[in-house]
């Protein structure tokens, strides 16, 4: 039995609401680092996050997919909107690949451009970049509480580790472990951690990620919680399998008492 206890958290949608940052950084990536003749970057676009983008965010798994969605929303011809988005979402992964192919893009390159946009803001306008993130203070308080109980904390995010670290530091959160997209999938990371730690729980806002963890023999004993306050599809909350529990912010304090 592993003696050291560890509690795991997703980052975006669990510790912070980064919706404004996603939109802003995606636009900046196109403005400065990605050429596309099909879009026009109007500075007014930065002022308010597209409702269509907000509605489509729960389908996103990796950062580069946000660039695909933003590109389709701001394209000159037949842009995605709240009325026609359903056709894109019905075959979401196929459509993301189609947009990559049509523009001769590579997913990894788009991710690097998003990272460049974030680094540009950190280097040139750090305070305003930080302000684009809105923390869930209940989660921050919970992290502080479990640390006092001698439980280590780990963050597993599909954001780059360096960017998550900058935000966490500004929020005065200092987890023992931070894993970005560079470290592999969340199943791979939790599998490796399970060999060293007793994992007390994992809070995540992506249902399929929790299902993958529960279906993996090395991690199926980890208590998994779906963050009700995160970027969820309506259907995500219904009939959760594998004893995955829907968690509300007000119930955070009760987790370790169960």
- What is the tens place of the pLDDT at every residue in 34-73? 989 999 999 999 999 999 999 999 999 999 999 999 999 9
The average pLDDT across 194-214 equals 97
pLDDT at 196 over 60: yes
pLDDT-derived band at 205 (thresholds 50, 70, 90) equals very high
**Phi, psi dihedrals of residue 240, rounded to the nearest 5°:** -65, 130
Start-end of H helices in 39-174:
51-56, 63-74, 85-90, 92-102, 107-131, 137-148, 161-170
Closest of 243, 183, 179 to residue 215, by C-alpha? 243
pLDDT-derived band at 2 (thresholds 50, 70, 90) equals low
The average pLDDT across 75-94 equals 95
Domain map of the chain by residue range? 5-17+135-257, 19-131
Task: For the domain made up of 5-17+135-257, give the CATH fold.
Answer: Rossmann fold (3.40.50)
What is the overall mean pLDDT for the chain?
Answer: 95
- For residue 169, what are its two tokens? 């530091």
Q: Is 149 helix (H, G, I), strand (E, B) or coil?
A: coil
- For residue 88, what are its two tokens? 């894109």
| pTM for this entry | 0.93
Rounded to whole angstroms, the Cα distance separating 127 from 116 reads 17
Backbone dihedral region for residue 238 (phi beyond 0: left; psi -120 to 50: alpha; all else: beta): beta
The average pLDDT across 231-239 equals 95
pLDDT at 258 over 70: no
CB 199 within 8 A of CB 192: no
- What is the tens place of the pLDDT at every residue in 127-175? 999 999 999 999 999 999 999 999 999 999 999 999 999 999 999 999 9
pLDDT at 123 over 70: yes
pLDDT-derived band at 256 (thresholds 50, 70, 90) equals confident
Whole-number pLDDT of residue 3: 77
């Amino acid at each position: 039995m592993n003696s050291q206890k560890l509690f795991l958290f997703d980052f975006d949608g669990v510790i912070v609401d980064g919706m404004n940052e996603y939109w802003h950084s995606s636009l900046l990536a196109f403005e400065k680092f990605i050429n596309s003749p099909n879009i026009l970057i109007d500075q007014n676009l930065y002022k308010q996050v597209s409702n269509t983008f907000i509605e489509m965010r729960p389908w996103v798994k990796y950062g580069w997919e946000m660039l695909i969605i933003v590109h389709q929303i701001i394209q000159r011809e037949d842009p995605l909107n709240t009325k026609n988005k359903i056709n894109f979402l019905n075959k979401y992964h196929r459509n993301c690949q189609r947009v990559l192919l049509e523009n001769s893009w590579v997913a990894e390159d788009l991710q690097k451009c998003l990272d460049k946009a974030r680094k540009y803001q950190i280097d040139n306008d750090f305070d305003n970049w930080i302000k684009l993130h809105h923390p869930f203070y209940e989660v921050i308080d919970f992290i502080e509480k479990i640390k006092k109980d001698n439980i280590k904390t780990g963050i597993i995010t599909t954001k780059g580790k360096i960017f998550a670290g900058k935000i966490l530091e500004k929020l005065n959160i200092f987890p023992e472990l931070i894993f970005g997209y560079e470290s592999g999938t969340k199943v791979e990371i939790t599998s490796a951690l399970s060999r060293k730690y007793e994992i007390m729980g994992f809070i995540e806002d992506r249902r399929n990620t929790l299902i993958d963890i529960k279906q993996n023999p090395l991690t199926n004993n980890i208590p998994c919680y779906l963050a009700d306050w995160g970027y969820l599809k309506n259907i995500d909350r219904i009939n959760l399998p594998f004893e995955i529990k829907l968690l509300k912010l007000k119930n955070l304090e009760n987790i370790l008492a169960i």
